Amino acid sequence: MKLNRRAFIKSAAAGSAIVAAGSIFPGISFAGWQQQEGASGQISWQKAPCRFCGTGCGVLVGVSGDRAVAVKGDPNCSVNKGLCCVKGFHSVQALYGKDRIKKAQIRRNGKMVEVPMAEALDVIAAKIKETMEKHGKDSVAMYGSGQWTIPDGYVASKLFKGCLGTNNVEANARLCMASAVTGFMTSFGIDEPMGCYEDIEHADVFVTWGNNMAEMHPVLFSRMLASRKRKKNVTIIDFATRTTRSSQASDKSILFKPSTDLAVANAICYEIIHNDWVNWDFVNRHTTFHKGKTNIGYGTEDHFSFTDVPEDITFEQYKTFLEDYTPEKVEKISGVSAKDIKYMASLYGDPTKKVTSFWCMGMNQHVRGTWIQNLVYNIHLLTGKISTPGNSPFSLTGQPSACGTVREVGTLTHALPHGVVMNEHDREMAAKIWDVPVTNIDPKPTYHTVEMFRALDRGDIRFMWIQVTNPMVTMPNLIRYRNGALKDDRFIVVSDVYPTPTTDVADVILPATLWIEQEGMFGNSERRTAHFDRIVPGPGDTMSDTWQIIEVARRLGFQKQFPWGEDEYIGKIWEEYRRFHDGPKHNMASYEMLKERSGVQWPFVNGKETRWRFNTKHDPACKPGTDFDFYGKKDGKAWIWARPYEPAAESPDQEYNFWLNTGRVIEHWHTGSMTRRIPVLHNAMPESYVEINPEDAADLGVVTGENVKIISRRGSVTMKASINGRGVPPRGMVFVPFFDESYLINEVTLDAFCPISKQPDYKKCAVRLEKA
C-alpha cells in the first residue's frame, strides 16, 4: 500500500509538471505520459471548484482514507478543461498546515484560552444581545468575504438584515469588485458579465486593461495563448502601468500613467467616432447617452457621502465632450503615444475583428473605478461588440465566490438576495421568504467596508464578527483600523482556519472548516455556480461558517428562521435562496442538478444555461422581436456615459515622489494565510519584495536583495528590493505584493475610494524611498 501511494504521488508530481508545462507552452504533448487514472487503486476522486481565485476551475480531489492527497483538473469542467494552475494543484495541502486552528478560543485576562465550541457560541450570542441592548441594533456588524460559500453569506444576511434588523453586513469583495458592480449597474442596470469564457475561443483581439492575467488568472491566460497558437491571427494587447509576465507573453505592451486609463478610453471612443467606426444600427437601437457629476471627491474623510445625478445628453453633446480627448492631447496626459491610442482604437473599430476586453483589480481598485468600467463599456457599445461570441467586455473577479456570495446573495450593506434594502418590493420579498416582519428590514443602508471599520474605530460599531477574511492585512491605511479594533470596548469575533494578524485582535476565535471539509457552493466570474460536497472531515472542533451562524441565530431565538438539520442544511438553504432569483433573468439550477454537474451557469431556464445575456438568440429573458435587449434598464437600452479623466487621490510630489502600486503574485492567494503553509508555494515565493525600476534603483544605490524603506504619510515598511524581476515598474513607481503579513504594505496605502462603488484604490498613492 505504501508503494502504491508513493507511486501515486510520483504520478501526481508528473501531472503537476505536465500541466504547468501546458500552461507555459500551449500545445505541448507528452507521449510517455500515462493518465493518473489507475495510478493507484487507493484513491477516489470527487469534484469541487478550486477556491484560489475567481476563475472557478473545476478540480478533482483525490482522497485516500479520510485525507485529501491530490488534485487534478476536472476535464468535465468547461472553465479549465482539465487544466490547473500551480495554486490549484497544491490546494489540498492548505488543509493540513501544522498550526491549523482546531479549538475555539476566548480572550481571558489578555490571553487566548481554549474552550468548548458551545461555550464560545454562547458568548458570541450573549455579546450580540448585550451590545444591541446597550448601543442599538447598528452597533453590531458582520464582515465576510468573497470566499464565503453561498450558504455562508445567505445565512449571514438573513440573520443580520432579516432577524437582527441591521444592514451592517459587508464583505471583503467590496475591496475587490464593488466598482465592477456599479459599472454594470450604471451602464446596464443589472450586475455581472454578459459573456462567458467561451469568448476566449471566439475573439480575435484581447485587450487586458491593467490586468496581469498570466499571474492572476493563469488558466484563462493559457486559454488565450492556446487560442492564439491555434488560430494564428489573434492579437493580445497588454495595457498596464507596469511590465509583467502578461506583457512578456502579449503581442504588444502599452504602458500608461496611473489613472489615465480614463483619458485613453475616451480617446479610443474619440477615434471610433471620428473614423466612422461606430456601429450606428446598434447604437441607435440599443443605447442612450448620459453624463453625471464631476469632481466627485475621494472619500478620505469619515462620513463621506456622494450620490450621482445622471442627466440625459445627446450624441452630439457626447461627441463634443470627447473633443478634450484627442489622441494627441491624451498622449500628454497618459504617456501613451497617439500612435498606440490610434492602434488600439483601430482594433476595436475594425468590424471584421471580435474583441474581448478583460480586467480585474486594475480597473476595480481605482478612485474612479465605476467611471473606467463605464468607459470600457462605451467602447464596446459604440462598436456594437458586446453580448455576442468573442465580443465581450469582461470583468474578472479575484475570489471564488465574489460573484456567487457577495453580488448574487447581496452581502453588502445596501443589498438583499434580490434587489436592495431601499426598495419596498425587494424588502417585502425578502421578509416573505425569510419569514420575518417586513419592518425588520431597515430601508437605509449603513456602512460600506471602509466606513464600517471607521465606525469600529469611532465606537459607532462595538461588535464585529469576521469570517473567512483577513482585514488586519488587507484594509488600506491599516494602522488606524487595527488600533480601532484593539480599543478596549470593542468585541471582535474571528472565524478562520489559521492564525493571522486578524485573529491577533480577536476576543473570540472560532475554528472553521476549510473548502472541501464542508458542503457548499461558489459562484464564479462567468455566472457559474459550482457545488462541492464535504469530501473530507475537518479537524478538531472545526465547524462550517454557515453552521456557526445558524448556532448563534438559534441562541438568539431565531429557531423558526434557521430550522434545518445538520445533514440537510445546505440543500435546504439553496432551495430557499434560489426563490429570490426565480424568473428568466436569473433563474438558478436546482440543488440536485448542481450536485450532478461541474458548475451550472445562470440564467438557467428550461434546462438550458445562458452563455450570452442580452442577446435574443441566447437569452430567454430578452423581449422577442429584437436582436438585443438590455433589460436591466427600463427601456431596454444600455447607457453610454460621458465620464472625464480625473487624477488619483494622492499623486507623487516633491516629498513623496513615487507611485506605490500593490497586488498579487501567482504563488499566493490573497494574504497568504493558506498558500504560505503549502511548502512548494512558500519555497517558490517565501517573502514579499518591492519592485523598483532599474534606473531608480541605481539612483538609490540599491541592488536586488538590499533593503529599501517605503514611506508614506501613513506609515512605512522595509523590505528587499527586486530589480528586473518578474515585474518591472516604470520610473517613478514601485510595486509591492501584499501576501506577506511580515511586511504590512497596507500600513502605507491610502483609504481613498471610488465615491460611487466605495471600493478603495490600492494601486495609487504617493511614497518615498530610502535605502535601509
Partner 1 sequence: MPILSFLVLPQAGAMEQLCADLSAMEHCEIIPSDNQEVVVLVTDTPDEKTENKLQEMLKNLPSLQSISMTFGHNAE
Residues 107-144: b if buried by 16+ CB within 10 A, e if exposed: eeeeebeebebeebbebbbebbbebbeebebbbbbbbb
Return the number of the residue (53 or 86) whose C-beta is nearest partner 1.
86
87 lies in the binding site for partner 1 (CB under 8 A): no
Q: How far is the CB of 736 from partner 1 (least distance, A)?
A: 24
Return the number of the residue (605 or 684) whose C-beta is nearest partner 1.
684
Q: How far is the CB of 245 from partner 1 (least distance, A)?
A: 13
* Total residues at interface with partner 1 (CB under 8 A): 27
Instruction: Tell me the DSSP string of 526-582.
Output: TSEEEEE---SPPSTT-B-HHHHHHHHHHHTT-TTTS---TTTHHHHHHHHHGGGG-
CA 449 to chain CA centroid, Å, is 14
4 lies in the binding site for partner 1 (CB under 8 A): no
Return the number of the residue (442 or 667) whose C-beta is nearest partner 1.
667
Stretch that binds partner 1, among 30-38, 420-428, 496-504, 736-744 (CB under 8 A): 30-38
Q: How far is the CB of 679 from partner 1 (least distance, A)?
A: 6
> In the structure grid, which three cell numbers stand for residue 172, read together?
471583503
Catalytic site includes residue 132: no
DSSP state of 724: S
12 lies in the binding site for partner 1 (CB under 8 A): yes
30 lies in the binding site for partner 1 (CB under 8 A): yes
Stretch that binds partner 1, among 46-54, 166-174, 360-368, 677-685 (CB under 8 A): 677-685
248 lies in the binding site for partner 1 (CB under 8 A): no
Instruction: Tell me the DSSP string of 334-401.
Output: HS--HHHHHHHHHHHH-TT--EEEEESHHHHSSTTHHHHHHHHHHHHHHHT-SSBTTBEEEE--SSTT
Which of the following is catalytic: 361, 452, 685, 765?
A: 361
Catalytic site includes residue 137: no
Return the number of the residue (505 or 685) whose C-beta is nearest partner 1.
685
24 lies in the binding site for partner 1 (CB under 8 A): yes
Catalytic site includes residue 363: no
DSSP state of 27: T
| Spatial separation of the C-alpha atoms in residues 732 and 657, rounded to whole Å | 7
Catalytic site includes residue 177: yes
Q: Who contacts 301 (Cβ-Cβ below 8 Å, separation ≥6)?
A: none
Binding residue for partner 1 (CB under 8 A) from 90, 127, 257, 414? 90
| Spatial separation of the C-alpha atoms in residues 371 and 269, rounded to whole Å | 14
Binding residue for partner 1 (CB under 8 A) from 36, 40, 87, 89? 89
Environment class of 628 (CB within 10 Å of its CB; exposed 0-12, middle 13-18, buried 19+): buried
Return the number of the residue (72 or 585) whose C-beta is nearest partner 1.
72
Environment class of 653 (CB within 10 Å of its CB; exposed 0-12, middle 13-18, buried 19+): exposed
679 lies in the binding site for partner 1 (CB under 8 A): yes
Which of the following is catalytic: 399, 467, 548, 759?
A: 399
Q: How many CB atoms lie within 10 A of CB 238?
A: 26
Binding residue for partner 1 (CB under 8 A) from 39, 63, 79, 86? 86
Stretch that binds partner 1, among 23-31, 57-65, 297-305, 466-474 (CB under 8 A): 23-31
Stretch that binds partner 1, among 25-33, 121-129, 287-295, 638-646 (CB under 8 A): 25-33
25 lies in the binding site for partner 1 (CB under 8 A): yes
Q: How far is the CB of 690 from partner 1 (least distance, A)?
A: 23
Stretch that binds partner 1, among 11-19, 113-121, 127-135, 169-177 (CB under 8 A): 11-19
306 lies in the binding site for partner 1 (CB under 8 A): no
Which of the following is catalytic: 53, 84, 177, 464?
A: 177
352 lies in the binding site for partner 1 (CB under 8 A): no
229 lies in the binding site for partner 1 (CB under 8 A): no
Please choose, from the candidates 138, 108, 110, the residue with its C-alpha nearest in 3D space to the C-alpha of residue 123: 108
> In the structure grid, which three cell numbers stand for residue 248, read together?
512578456
Binding residue for partner 1 (CB under 8 A) from 38, 109, 683, 701? 683
| Spatial separation of the C-alpha atoms in residues 627 and 406, rounded to whole Å | 31
Q: Is 31 helix (H, G, I), strand (E, B) or coil?
A: coil
Sheet holding 600-601, edge to edge: 520-523, 528-532, 600-601
Stretch that binds partner 1, among 13-21, 213-221, 340-348, 479-487 (CB under 8 A): 13-21
Torsion of CA 510, 515, 519, 521, to 10 degrees: 120
Which of the following is catalytic: 87, 127, 158, 763?
A: 87
Binders of partner 1 among residues 367 to 426 (CB under 8 A) are: none
| Spatial separation of the C-alpha atoms in residues 596 and 612, rounded to whole Å | 23
| Spatial separation of the C-alpha atoms in residues 348 and 380, rounded to whole Å | 8
Pairing verdict, β 765-771 and 716-723: unpaired
Catalytic site includes residue 452: no
Catalytic site includes residue 719: no
Binding residue for partner 1 (CB under 8 A) from 4, 20, 644, 704? 20
Q: How far is the CB of 14 from partner 1 (least distance, A)?
A: 5
13 lies in the binding site for partner 1 (CB under 8 A): yes
| Spatial separation of the C-alpha atoms in residues 93 and 108, rounded to whole Å | 33
Question: Which residues face 39 on adjacent strands?
Answer: none
486 lies in the binding site for partner 1 (CB under 8 A): no
Residue 111 has phi, psi (to 5 degrees) of -120, 145
Q: Would you say how long the chain is, in residues?
A: 772
Q: Who contacts 688 (Cβ-Cβ below 8 Å, separation ≥6)?
A: 719, 736, 737, 738, 739, 740, 742, 743, 745
Binding residue for partner 1 (CB under 8 A) from 118, 126, 486, 680? 680
Opening angle at CA 405, ends 408 and 124, nearest 5:
130
280 lies in the binding site for partner 1 (CB under 8 A): no
Stretch that binds partner 1, among 7-15, 50-58, 401-409, 494-502 (CB under 8 A): 7-15
Stretch that binds partner 1, among 349-357, 496-504, 566-574, 678-686 (CB under 8 A): 678-686
27 lies in the binding site for partner 1 (CB under 8 A): yes
Site track for partner 1 across 637-676, x = CB under 8 A: ----------------------------------------
Please choose, from the candidates 500, 495, 453, the residue with its C-alpha nearest in 3D space to the C-alpha of residue 478: 453
Which of the following is catalytic: 50, 53, 57, 176?
A: 176
- Cell match 438573513: residue? 158
* Residues in contact with partner 1 by the rule CB under 8 A: 6, 9-10, 12-14, 16-18, 20-21, 24-25, 27-33, 86, 89-90, 679-680, 683-684
Please list the active-site residues: 87, 176-177, 361, 398-399
